[in-house]
């Protein structure tokens, strides 16, 4: 299947190094999503949601390995047990806060996305669909406390 950009995500992050590795580590960082004008009609009602799911292309990531050492760990992990950007299908997922909608421009915060990233889809974040009580969170059980301070480096460029 061919997927194509429906817009562009803008953020303060111009290079992959030193980015927050998840929105949780990007509190207060603002950005915008510039949706192609031809899709503007599809944004109706979106302003009713405080959080949205962005799917986008990890456009700077080439290739992949099936085991990686995640930013928050020192041990090699199976790729699909990580959120690393170099994947067979390099599709990124971030849940960001939607501040306001201005025409075809979404003002968002808690942005952990590289400036210029091609947007693939927008979905509303719905607690009843998207909040789940987990009983296990794997290797992150002991390392997730660091997500707010961990930054990316060049390993996934």
**How many CA atoms within 13 Å lie on the side-chain side of 131?**
5
> How many residues sit close enough to its own copies to count as binding (CB under 8 A)?
65
Of 130 and 153, the one with the shorter C-beta distance to its own copies is: 130
What would the two tokens of residue 15 be? 């290079």
132 part of the interface to its own copies, by CB under 8 A: yes
Query: What radius of gyration, in Å, describes the C-alpha atoms of the chain?
Result: 16
H/E element holding 31? Answer: strand 30-35
β-pair type (51-57, 7-10): unpaired
Binding of its own copies at residue 81 (CB under 8 A)?
yes
Segment contacting its own copies (CB under 8 A): 11-19, 79-87, 149-157? 79-87
Which CB, 10 or 150, lies closer to its own copies? 150
The CA distance from 105 to 120, in Å, is 15
How far is Cα 12 from Cα 32, in angstroms, rounded to an integer? 10
Q: How far is the CB of 99 from its own copies (least distance, A)?
A: 11
Of 16 and 59, which CB lies nearer to its own copies in the complex structure? 59
Of 74, 109, 105, the closest CA to residue 94 belongs to 109
> Under rule CB under 8 A, which residues in 98-127 are in contact with its own copies?
118, 120-127
From CA 60, how far away is CA 118, in angstroms rounded? Answer: 10
As measured in angstroms, the least distance from the Cβ of 39 to its own copies is: 7
Shortest Å, Cβ 157 to its own copies: 18
Site for its own copies, rule CB under 8 A: 1-4, 6, 22-24, 39, 41-51, 53, 55, 57, 59, 66-67, 77-83, 87-91, 93, 95, 97, 118, 120-132, 134-141, 144, 147
């Amino acid at each position: 299947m061919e997927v194509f950009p429906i817009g562009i995500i803008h953020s303060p992050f111009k290079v992959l190094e030193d980015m927050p590795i998840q929105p949780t580590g990007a509190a207060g960082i603002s950005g915008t999503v510039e949706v192609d004008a031809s899709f503007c009609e599809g944004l109706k009602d979106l302003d009713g949601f405080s959080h949205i799911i962005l799917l986008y292309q990890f456009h700077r990531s080439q290739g992949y390995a099936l085991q990686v050492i995640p930013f928050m760990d020192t041990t090699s992990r199976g790729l699909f047990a990580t959120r690393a950007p170099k994947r067979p299908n390099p599709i990124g997922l971030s849940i960001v806060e939607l501040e306001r909608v201005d025409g075809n421009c979404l003002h968002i915060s808690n942005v952990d996305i590289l400036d210029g990233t091609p947007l693939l889809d927008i979905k509303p974040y719905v607690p009843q669909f998207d909040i789940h009580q987990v009983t296990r969170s794997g290797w992150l059980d002991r390392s997730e406390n660091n997500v707010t301070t961990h930054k990316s480096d060049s390993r996934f460029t």
